[in-house]
């Protein structure tokens, strides 16, 4: 770990308190000059660190900047060994991890960012990923899983996010099949799983699970195109909240991933599923077919009944509510 990261970890552990340059240098076994350079670099990266003569350095106790040290505080003990990289900005956390996957990096690598310049959603859409208001993360997986079961990664992730948000906010998120999380009718999270398939085995070579969370409303509000759909979890900033949410999602997902064969996520997924019993449109390409949503089976396929009485289980596509 670089000195900059070690300094941040110490300041984060003592948030709101002043640590002298001498204290930091002695603890880290480096020079005071190295500490000063590390603090300057952190300040330039946006960390609100105060420097006061004869007192030292202090990280604002109300800050909510993503950091490895901040996330590790909330990780379960058996997840502390995960390889996690945290960035202020990346092109796309999924793109970064797909590069790692193609280099043979083992599963469990996680990339987290506070902003994406090329955030991606389903069906090639862009995903709005502004600075300092959201949380964008991807997890590299190499499951022994048939291609047809890949949807379970997305649904388990949806449950993981819903449980994390409920724990930190006392709100009850709902899940829109197959990959969106809603609170009070507003989308607060989108999930995109991208996979590489083995032609030889018919299974997955790897999967990259991407999760984007609207923690706060961005400065200036959401873009007009999604203003009536998107919403934040919180309307006021909270200290260390994005680090906490990131850790909770990781804890939840890795626990569910460890018991994938048992479908342990399914009861929670079914309980939170939106629009069961409602009239919906099944969307495939440009075609919309009216139907009634009946639920989802244990393979996470959408169960619908069309107007002619025919029923179908759907593993891909999109749905929308039919407004009266």
The string of DSSP letters for 34-87 reads HHHHHHHHHHHTT--EEEETTTEEEE-TT-----HHHHHTTS-GGGTTS-EEEE
Domain at 3-59: CATH code = 1.10.10.10
Does 116 belong to an annotated binding site?
yes
pLDDT at residue 174, rounded to an integer: 96
| pLDDT at residue 199, as a whole number | 65
Q: What is the pLDDT of residue 323?
A: 64
Q: What is the pLDDT of residue 63?
A: 84
3-state class (DSSP) for residue 176: strand
Q: What is the pLDDT of residue 126?
A: 62
Supply the pLDDT for residue 44. 87
Rg of the chain over all Cα atoms, to the nearest angstrom: 22
- What pLDDT score does 150 carry? 85
284 is annotated as contributing to ligand binding: no
Output the pLDDT for position 149.
83
DSSP conformational letter for 150: T
Q: What is the CATH number of domain 68-272?
A: 3.30.930.10
pTM of the model: 0.88
CB 52 within 8 A of CB 35: no
Residue 94's φ and ψ, nearest 5 degrees, are -65, -45
**Is residue 121 a known part of a binding site?**
yes
Is residue 92 part of an annotated ligand binding site? yes
Tell me the CATH architecture of domain 279-321. Roll (2.30)
Where do the domains of the chain lie? 3-59, 68-272, 279-321
Contact between residue 213 and residue 134 where contact means Cβ atoms under 8 Å apart = yes
Domains 3-59 and 279-321 share a fold: no
- Name the phi and psi angles at 52, rounded to 5: -125, 130
Cα separations (Å) of 234 from 158, 289, 301?
Answer: 19, 35, 31
Determine whether the annotation assigns residue 103 to a binding site: no
- Indicate the helix (H) or strand (E) that contains 195: strand 186-197
pLDDT of res. 147: 80
- Annotated binding-site residue? 94: yes
- Residue 275 has phi, psi (to 5 degrees) of 70, 15
What residues does 86 pair with on adjacent strands?
112
Q: 169, exposed or middle or buried, with CB in 10 Å at 0-12, 13-18, 19+?
A: middle
CA 195 – CA 269 distance, rounded (Å): 22
**pLDDT (0 to 100) of residue 93:** 94
Spatial distance between the Cα atoms of 158 and 179, rounded to a whole number of angstroms:
6
Burial 228-261 (b: 16+ CB within 10 A, else e): eebbbbbeeebebbbbbbbbbbbbbbbbbbeebe
Residue 187 CA: distances (Å) to CA of 24, 60, 61, 194, 274: 43, 30, 29, 21, 12
Per-residue pLDDT of the chain (324 residues; tens, 9 = 90+): 689 888 988 998 888 899 999 999 999 999 999 999 999 998 987 788 999 999 999 998 888 889 888 899 999 999 999 999 999 889 999 999 999 999 999 999 999 999 888 777 665 566 777 788 899 999 999 998 888 788 899 999 999 999 999 999 989 999 999 889 999 999 999 999 998 887 666 678 899 999 999 999 998 888 888 889 999 999 999 989 999 999 999 999 999 999 888 889 999 999 999 999 999 999 988 899 999 999 999 989 999 999 999 999 998 888 998 865
Task: Give the per-residue pLDDT at 122.
Answer: 61
- Angstrom distance (rounded) from CA 56 to CA 18: 5
């Amino acid at each position: 770990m670089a000195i900059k990261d070690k300094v941040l970890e110490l300041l984060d552990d003592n948030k709101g308190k002043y640590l002298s340059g001498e204290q930091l240098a002695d603890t880290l076994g480096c020079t005071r000059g190295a500490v000063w350079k590390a603090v300057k670099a952190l300040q330039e990266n946006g960390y609100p660190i105060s420097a006061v003569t004869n007192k030292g350095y202090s990280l604002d106790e109300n800050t909510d900047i993503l950091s490895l040290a901040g996330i590790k505080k909330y990780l379960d003990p058996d997840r502390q060994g995960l390889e996690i990289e945290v960035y202020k900005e990346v092109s796309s956390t999924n793109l970064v991890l797909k590069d790692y996957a193609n280099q043979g990096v083992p599963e469990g690598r996680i990339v987290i960012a506070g902003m994406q310049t090329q955030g991606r959603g389903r069906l090639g859409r862009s995903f709005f990923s502004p600075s300092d208001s959201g949380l964008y993360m991807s997890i590299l997986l190499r499951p022994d899983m048939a291609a047809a079961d890949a949807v379970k990664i997305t649904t388990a992730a949806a449950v993981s996010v819903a449980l994390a948000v409920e724990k930190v906010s006392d709100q009850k998120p709902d899940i829109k099949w197959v990959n969106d999380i809603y609170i009070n009718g507003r989308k607060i999270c989108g999930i995109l799983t991208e996979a590489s398939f083995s032609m030889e085995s018919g299974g997955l070579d790897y999967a990259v699970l991407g999760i984007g969370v609207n923690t706060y409303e961005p400065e200036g509000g959401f873009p007009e195109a999604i203003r009536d759909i998107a919403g934040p979890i919180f309307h006021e900033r909270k200290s260390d909240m994005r680090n906490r949410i990131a850790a909770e999602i990781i804890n939840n997902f890795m626990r569910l991933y460890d018991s994938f064969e048992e479908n342990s996520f399914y009861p929670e997924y079914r309980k939170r599923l939106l629009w069961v019993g409602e009239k919906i449109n099944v969307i495939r390409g440009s075609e919309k077919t009216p139907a009634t949503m009946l639920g989802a089976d244990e393979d996470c396929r959408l169960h619908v009944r069309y107007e002619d009485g025919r029923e179908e289980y759907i593993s891909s596509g999109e749905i929308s509510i039919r407004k009266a």
